[in-house]
Chain A
Amino acid sequence: MKYPEHLFYTRDHEWISFENEHALIGITDFAQKELGDIVYVDIPSLDKIIVKEAIFGTVEAVKTVSDLFMPVNGKVIAINPLLETNPELVNQDPYGSWMIKVLVTSASDRESLLNAEQYQALIVSNPSSHE
């Protein structure tokens, strides 16, 4: 299981990478492993302002469907076009396969996010019932 140091994480297993006022958001290695083979990534929220912890889309795997939650307040300014036709990229490279790009509207949001070490501790202390 990988936990890149430069990323921030949520308890709902999204990752976020900040670059000035922009950020890329995806799901973690743990999340893609739990979901299994991903067949659709549905993100209907382009150009919308989504508040932190609200749903910005869903990801469908063969056996299950899971909501995607915003790690920060922000406006969705781009959706990764590669995932429309190749959603399995999320399984192959979860940290390379961003799902949305957002304009972050509230910088203070970062403080409640987990760093790599804290996120790893969460996974280790709360192993899924599936493992």
Chain B
Amino acid sequence: MKNTALAAIHQSLNAKMAPFAGYHMPIQYSGINEEHENVRNQVGIFDVSHMGEFFVKGPDALDLIQRVTTNDASTLYIGQVQYSCMTNEQGGIIDDLLVYRLDLEVYMLVVNASNIEKDWNWLVDNNYKNAELVDRSDELSLISVQGPYAVDTLQRLTSYQLNLIPYYHFRELMLNGIPGMIVSNTGYTGAGGFELYVPNHSAVALWEAIMTAGSSYHIRPVGLGARDTLRLEMGYCLYGNDIDDHATPLEAGLGWITKFNKVFNGKEVLQEQKMAGAKLKLVGIRMKERGIPRHGYRILNTDGEPIGAITSGTQSPTLKTGIALGYVAIDAAAPGTNVLVDIRGLLMGACVSKMPFVQSQIK
């Protein structure tokens, strides 16, 4: 089990820690609801250093990225970030990831901690033209600062005008005296903010500087528990729950990052699925009755016939009601469709919901 460079900080904050993807990670500090609301209303700081960072360089870097991912990385300009999927030959999702274009022939791929080894092997296996590959996952920490006061907080640590960085863009700049840091206007909460890639040896100092800079904005540390409720309110997928090697991007509602104008692994299978129509679709489920839909619970139509299963669910701290993601048969996938969720033997009323469940605060 690995520790992040911020382990001593979590200990001093009395975080509740749990194993997650091979790391001891902070699950919560003060409590999920309080942390969640602090991100929605003020600003929160997350240690997400478990995420993996691969660098792909050289004249054949783009070719490799195009082959292994579904989105069209050729459209990226320097300073831009793209959400994408890695697919296998069957069109199943190996991982979802972010692709950063750092320079003309330099890219960074940010992958899920649980998939670092799998993704790396897949990249190596597909690297026919010998692009240069470097795994810097163990050298880099990732601190996410999210919430309406994230910009004000971080602005105190840099002379660069942070509000000039558009959504899904980044800059390499000096922050808290650390030169060349990747400061990225991305995040997985819908609350807006930045993700900061920092060498491990500077992570503690950076965390402390952010905490001080954000003190007047009521900054609080946020664990993976609230990260999960925040991302669920936005309807974002969690790898291993909502998407995996068997689900395709089309079934997962990720058709928008699947571009058929280029060649990639699994393209033919996905093209056929697109023509024939996927039989299942990942949808949002919102409870009408009391009860929390959770991973594995059955979804039924109003006649009581099983039509799918919940992949992740929670009580929405914002809406105070149960929300979930789950796969249902395509004829039940339209928003507004009434369904039932089998909550430990009780069939509770719910409906297919448009997503996000909560309006994003990102302008």
Contacts and interface: CB of A to CB of B under 8 A. Distances in A.
A binds B: yes
Interface of A: 36-37, 39-40, 58, 60, 62-63, 65, 91, 129-131
Chain B, interface size category, equals 20 to 34
B187 interface: no
Contacts, number: 45
Contact of A62 (B17, B32, B290, B344): B32
Main secondary structure of the interface of B (DSSP, over half): mixed
Nearest to A37: B33
A62 B33 contact: yes
Contacts of A91: 31
20 contacts: A36-B16, A36-B28, A36-B31, A36-B225, A37-B33, A37-B34, A39-B315, A40-B290, A60-B315, A62-B33, A62-B314, A63-B228, A65-B292, A65-B294, A65-B344, A91-B31, A129-B19, A130-B18, A130-B27, A131-B16
B292 A40 contact: yes
A60 B344 CA distance: 12
Contacts of A60: 291-292, 315
A58 B28 contact: no
Interface string B257-299: 0000000000000000000000000000000001110100000
Contacts of A129: 18-19
A37 B32 contact: yes
Nearest to B290: A40
Interface string B18-61: 11000000011001111000000000000000000000000000
A62 B315 contact: yes
A58 B314 contact: no
Given A36-B225, A63-B225, A65-B294, A130 B314 contact: no
Contacts of A58: 344
Contact of A130 (B17, B228, B290): B17
A2 to B, nearest CB: 16
B229 interface: yes
B253 interface: no
A63 B291 contact: no
A25 B118 CA distance: 49
Contacts of A40: 290-292, 315
B225 A62 contact: yes
B317 interface: yes
7 A-B pairs with least C-beta separation? A37-B33, A39-B315, A62-B32, A62-B315, A37-B32, A60-B292, A130-B18
B225 A130 contact: no
A65 B343 CA distance: 11
Contact of A36 (B19, B32, B290, B291): B32
Contacts of B18: 129-130
Contact of B17 (A37, A39, A131): A131
Point out which of A40, A60, A131 has the most chain B C-beta atoms below 10 A from its C-beta: A60
Contacts of B292: 39-40, 60, 62, 65
A65 B225 CA distance: 14
Contacts of B31: 36-37, 91
A36 B223 CA distance: 12
A90 to B, nearest CB: 13
A37 B228 CA distance: 14
Point out which of B28, B292, B314 has the most chain A C-beta atoms below 10 A from its C-beta: B292
Interface in B140-157: none
A97 B127 CA distance: 61
